[in-house]
Amino acid sequence: MLDQLADLLTDIVEGQREFQARWLPYHQDASLTVDSAALREGAAALQERLQDNYPFFHPMYAGQMLKPPHQAAVLGYLAAMLINPNNHALDGGPATGQIEKELTAELARMYGYAEHLGHLTSSGTIANLEALWVARREHPERAVAFSEQAHYTHSRMCEVLGLRAVEVPSDSQGRMDTEALHQLCLSEDIGTVVATLGTTALGALDPLPRILELGARHGFRVHVDAAYGGFFRLVADDSTDGVDAAAFAAMAQADSIVVDPHKHGLQPYGCGCVLFRDPAVGRHYVHDSPYTYFTSDELHLGEISLECSRAGASAAALWLTLRMLPLHTDTGLGAVLRRCRRAALDWSERIRTSDRVALVLEPSLDIVVFFPDNGPRSASAISARSDALFEETMSDEENPLYLSKLRVKTALLTARYPDIEADAEWTTVLRSVLMKPEHADWVERIHATVEERLGA
């Protein structure tokens, strides 16, 4: 990856030179000029500081939702960043504004939206905020419900928006309990339900088809938070390396969708996306900006978004990435996702047949959650062993493995393993987000490392 990047970086600089050559020659102001040697030295000092990082690029990093962007994204970002367009208005970024509109249309098509309104955002948090803000405009007095497994952002954003938030319990698979949701709707005025496809902790899929049925019956909006899982739409075909078809197919009926290209879309941070099924929600955005929207009568993205300035470079990066790895089911990005899914299925199978580790639940996507099962089966003992394994694998200098920890309700464990003693309400377990396709070739080693550690 780095070799390809190094080769092409000069092309990017040449492209910028060509762009600049279209104007009268000028010199950068002396106040901005820095000494080359000093810049090199500063850059070296920065590289030194950046060494204090975990190896997110490496398959033995199997912890949090983290990985570097694809080289196409880096090139696309850099090429546009040298110009630094601002996608707030077509005044600030005519090319990247147009690109962003094409990209959002492509994403909307992937979800089966016949029409849409949408745009990129700077994160999943902001994209969800926007979807809930529109929900509040539609149903100002009504509450928002989401599962106890939903991302914490939903309760926080309800607070920001002054909306009442109600938590719905989850079932033994970490999915929203739709019977509990139904009962809730009989006693509370729920205006919007957030369904998560790919919960942050467990990668669980809320039962969207059933939630939509309840929505039709009780008259609530359905917002799908697919910040993490959204791109799995490409491989939602119930095949051996695919994921659940029904949940993802139902996205076409949801009122709004959030997906984060900076998670499974191979992008650098700063790239979320919000989509609405009904373009008429654009009326909620109407505002007056006396300083922008002058260069074109076409829609400016700032007219339909809450954020003002946003990097046009994000759109450029996503555009180049999807040109290289299109939204196809068996090739392009689909092939990448299938490898991640295979990694999760392969590792789960190894865990299932191990006597040293046990699965918390079957993975729905590519997140594997497990606990060391080589000692007393009580919540506190499992937590202690998880803490120890986490520390030991990470600090092993010869063969480090990076996992992440997760606190789950002990009831989630006892649902599958009734003999676990619930001597604490919460248990710490281990969680691996296998979001790099390389993981498919490395789970054997990852699993062996865990087993060796626990056998030692």
Ligand X SMILES: Cc1ncc(COP(=O)(O)O)c(C=O)c1O
Site residues for ligand X per CB under 6 A: 65, 123-125, 128, 151, 153, 196, 200, 225, 227-228, 260, 272
CB of 124 to ligand X, least distance (A): 3
Nearer CB in complex with ligand X: 196/428 = 196
**What residues does 118 pair with on adjacent strands?**
275
Tokens at residue 314, please? 């994000």
Q: Please list, in sequence order, all residues whose beta carbon lies within 8 angstroms of the beta carbon of residue 122, skipping any fewer than 6 positions away.
A: 270, 271, 272, 307, 310, 311, 314
Closest C-alpha to 332, from 441, 249, 234? 234
CB of 64 to ligand X, least distance (A): 9
Nearer CB in complex with ligand X: 133/228 = 228
Q: At what angle do helices 71-81 and 312-324 cross, to 10 degrees?
A: 150
Contact between 132 and 161 (Cβ < 8 Å): yes
Nearer CB in complex with ligand X: 228/442 = 228
CB of 320 to ligand X, least distance (A): 21
CB of 257 to ligand X, least distance (A): 12
Nearer CB in complex with ligand X: 70/151 = 151
Closest C-alpha to 317, from 70, 52, 7, 18? 70
Nearer CB in complex with ligand X: 71/267 = 267
Nearer CB in complex with ligand X: 242/272 = 272
CB of 153 to ligand X, least distance (A): 5
Nearer CB in complex with ligand X: 65/382 = 65
Nearer CB in complex with ligand X: 117/131 = 131
CB of 45 to ligand X, least distance (A): 29
CB of 224 to ligand X, least distance (A): 10
CB of 272 to ligand X, least distance (A): 5
CB of 122 to ligand X, least distance (A): 8
Nearer CB in complex with ligand X: 90/157 = 157
User: Which residue is at the shortest CB distance from ligand X?
Assistant: 124
Tokens at residue 155, please? 């309760």
Contact between 413 and 382 (Cβ < 8 Å): yes
Nearer CB in complex with ligand X: 194/234 = 194
CB of 65 to ligand X, least distance (A): 6
